[in-house]
Structure 1
Amino acid sequence: MNNHLIPLLEALIKIDSSTKEGANEAIAFCEQWLIDQGLPVKKLENNGFHMLVCEIGQGDHTIVLNGHIDVIEAEKKQFQPHIQDGKLYGRGSADMKAGVAAFMMAAAQLKDKELTSRVMIQIVPDEETGGINGTKYLTEKGYLGDFIICGEPTNMGIAIQSKGVLQLDITVQGKPAHGSRPWEGTNAITKAIHLYEEILELPFAKEGSPMFTRPSINLAKIQGGTIYNKVPDLCEISLDIRYLPDQSPKDIVHQIQALTDSTVTTHICNNPVKTRADNPYVETLAKSIKRITQLEEATIFGQHGSSDGQFFTKYGGSAVEFGPVGSDWHGENEMVSIDSVREYQEVLVDFILSLDS
């Protein structure tokens, strides 16, 4: 079964799943593959987005293996996978079609085993654009678990925490004047930049935690001005703030609003992930990593970015990110280590079987 893993991954990479239509095509491919392996598959649809749920095993506890099939856009050549020096290159190779392929292979390997835990494979279409139509929809429909593994690339480490996402739009008012007499107006663009610099000095921006030095604050967009010879009287900036797991997004917004008379609007506010290092499932997964790989200890860390694991936390599920070794995801030379993908599948199988021992 392990010999079929890399060809399956190559077939997935060849599908340009950077659009809704492409993601649905990839979902259809996965559905047929799972059916061909004799696995039970349920396809769901939400707002035109397709997703799959495949359940095996039985018992009172559920392990969710959650993987997204969508990728960000890329050049055509990146959808032609190639192997060099033990590495498989291509868009989505690491993020995260390797994880999806390993999930599928693990399910096929485990389907005839006597499992005392339920294992639920979720293959979703829209993590890269927020997960609203995929994983969020599944959790709202009751497709939940006690322990959730999102197969994002983590170099075989276990990311037990991730920052929350707070995206803000701030509209800054200035005062118009003729471009030749800027001192008679208030430049909304420079005022907005000054506000951004002040936000970087706020108390929340200086805080740290055991797994993170500080929050991430990105000035993502700035729009202002209309013509050369006018002092701009309006500017909008957009911030992407990745806040620490124990910080309050409401408090962050309050600190920013206290700085300015500008209008502050929340675009997105997503939960952090705060799984504990001593979670029994984390400890069991760490033992499987040590047993299967050459690693003496499993690396436990926190992710700066977010994943679909965030949607399970409000229902009491403990989520982690765990995936094979790769690099340059979202870049021109995205790749995944072939040996690592194989080890990753073996770790997943060992972990699930360990739950029953």
Structure 2
Amino acid sequence: MLGTPEILRTLVGIESVSSLSNAPLLDEIQSLLEPRGWFIQRFPYIATDGLEKANLLAIPSRFKDALPDVELLFVCHTDTVPFRREWAAATNLTEQDGFLHGCGSCDVKGSLAALISAALQVDTASMKSPVAFAFTAEEEIGCIGATKLAASGAIRPRNVIVCEPTSLHPATAGKGYALAEVNIRGREAHSAFPYRGASAVNAAASFIVKLEHLQKQPAASSDARFTPPVTTFNVGVLNGGTAKNIVAGACSFLVEWRPIPSEDPALGGFILKDIASALSSEHPGCEIEVKVLRTDAGFANPASDLLGATLCRLLNRTEIGISFGSEAARFAAIAQSVVVVGPGDMETAHSERERVPIDELEEWTGIIKHLLLQGLN
């Protein structure tokens, strides 16, 4: 029987960055699960890049008539972020000091390997309740596959475990994700005569300083499950100006914010528009437009939630909140309870430091096996 590290080695060896079709990885998953009595259903679609991607549902064949309603659904995405070609070992899993290193090893092929390993160890005839797996596409570029699957009606789970690296701490709450583009149009002039122009870069600098100052003020609401416990803003990309001796006539930048679950994700957009309005008198020659591109709400389960309590008990760990994005919000709209949990630490993901602890990998495989056999009892 293949162990979890051996399965992970195979999965890491299949390159599955978001710009590629995830079909080869799904083929491998299907080849392992189908002979063990799992019913497989694919949901293909054509992505915006023209490639065919797919979501995949797997459920023991004896429970396939339970679809779309299942007691428990495990969700695991199949894509990874791009990696530098100089990282020679990106798709060659290596072991060092109790960790397995490789692209996707913790985000989230470690969890994927644990799901498959546990399924291979369980006789589906011994399962007490219908448990399904969902393997999704294009999570790393906007949870596209999960959005399609949740909206399709193909699955209506009561409880959902979204696999992401949390060092096996059950995350019963997650911040949302929102994004806006700020475009500033000024007036160009020779830099020797700056009074003839209106610098869009200067207006952008004032905007960013005001946003930074705002974040230093006491927050109206907070949530102790998160670090930091408040909604955060970040300016990650800025472009402006055409030459060193020209007053910049245009500048644009992207602002993302991560709202705590109790806060309307659209609020950040109103804050940005208020800043833009306030700057109109300070920079009269500039026009500032705020275009909100995305407002995804967070998720949160009540303290009495059975799924979170069960996972905390089985893992002997306390609940946390996560500040990074996940597919949880998509499934929270159709499920009673959603928890994010998995081996590894997100702080190593999306980098050449990515790794997953072998002991956490094995522990998570055992927990999945228990949940397959016993459900949430």
Counterpart of 2:310 in structure 1 is 284
- Give per-residue Cα distances to partners, 1:141-172, cap 9 Å, x unaligned: 12231111111111110111111111000112
What's 2:258 paired with?
A: 242
Cα distance in structure 2, aligned partners of 1:276 and 1:328? 30
SS of equivalent to 2:112: helix
- Could you say which residue in structure 1 is the equivalent of 2:141? 129
- What are the equivalent positions in structure 2 for 1:58-207 lying under 5 Å apart? 58=63, 61-74=70-83, 75-132=87-144, 134-142=145-153, 143-202=155-214, 206-207=218-219
Q: 1:55 to 1:95 in 2, by over 3 A?
A: same
CA distance in 1, matches of 2:72, 2:376: 12
What whole-Å deviation, never above 9, does each CA across 1:234-262 have from its counterpart, x for those lacking one? 11111111111111123222222122142
Query: Whole-Å Cα distance in 2 between the matches of residues 353 and 30 of structure 1?
Result: 20
Quick one: distance in 2 between partners of 1:61 and 1:43?
Answer: 17
How far apart are 1:112 and its partner, in Å?
Answer: 2.1
Q: Which amino acid aligns with 2:351?
A: G
Deviates more, 1:147-156 or 1:102-111: 102-111
Instruction: Provide the C-alpha distance between the structure 2 equivalents of 1:19 and 1:356, rounded to a whole number of angstroms.
Output: 33
Q: CA RMSD in A?
A: 2.1
Q: Deviations over 1:35-65 (max 9, x none)?
A: 2333211111012212210013657652110
Contact 2:166 2:344 in 1 (8 A): yes
Q: Offset at 1:274?
A: 1.1
Q: Secondary structure at the match of 1:157?
A: coil
- Find the aligned partners of 1:81 and 1:214 in 2 and give their Cα distance: 37
Q: Displacement, 1:223?
A: 1.4
Paired residue type of 1:192: A
CA distance in structure 2 between the aligned counterparts of 1:118 and 1:283, rounded to whole angstroms: 20
- The percent of aligned pairs where both chains have the same amino acid is 23
Give unpaired runs (5+ residues) of structure 2: 47-51, 278-287
Shift of 1:116: 3.7
Instruction: Check if 1:55 corresponds to 2:55.
Output: no
How many angstroms does 1:279 deviate by?
A: 0.4
Secondary structure of the structure 2 residue equivalent to 1:6: helix
In 1: Cα distance, 2:376 partner to 2:8 partner: 29
Answer yes or no: is the 8 Å Cα contact 1:161–1:303 preserved in 2: yes
Q: Aligned residue for 1:222? A: 238
Whether the aligned pair in 2 keeps the contact of 1:175 and 1:233 (CA below 8 Å) is: yes
- For 2:370, the equivalent position in structure 1 comes to 350
1:84-113 C-alpha deviation (Å, 9 max, x unpaired):
222111111111001011112223333424
Aligned to 1:295: none
2:332 is equivalent to residue 333 of structure 1: no
Contact 1:176 1:187 in 2 (8 A): yes
The worse-fitting range, judged by mean Cα deviation, of 185-194 and 101-110 is: 101-110
Distance 2:375 2:298 in 1: 27
Residue in 1 aligned with 2:26? Answer: 27
Superposed, 1:29-48 pairs within 5 Å as 29-47=28-46, 48=52
2:225 to 202, 208, 211: 211
Out of 189-198 and 8-17, give the one that drifted further.
Answer: 189-198
- For residue 75 of structure 2, give the secondary structure of its aligned residue in structure 1: strand
Cα distance in 2 between the residues matched to 1:275 and 1:238 = 31
Between 171-180 and 232-241, report the one with greater CA deviation: 171-180
C-alpha distance 230-203 of structure 1, shift in aligned 2 (>3 A) = closer
Does structure 1 retain, via aligned residues, the 8 Å contact 2:37–2:124? no
Aligned residues: 348
Q: Distance in 2 between matches of 1:98 and 1:353?
A: 21
| Distance in 1 separating the partners of 2:15 and 2:152 | 28
TM-score norm. by structure 2 comes to 0.86
- In the alignment, is the contact (CA less than 8 A) between 2:307 and 2:339 conserved in 1? no
- Partners of 1:161 and 1:237 lie apart in 2 by 29
Deviation, structure 1 residue 5: 1.6
Q: Distance between the aligned counterparts of 1:136 and 1:118, measured in 2?
A: 23
Hey, what does 1:273 align to over in structure 2?
Answer: 299
Q: CA deviation at 1:336?
A: 0.8
- Three-state SS of the structure 2 residue aligned to 1:238 is strand
CA offset at residue 205 of structure 1? 7.2
Q: Distance in 1 between matches of 2:142 and 2:129?
A: 29
SS in 2 for 1:200: helix
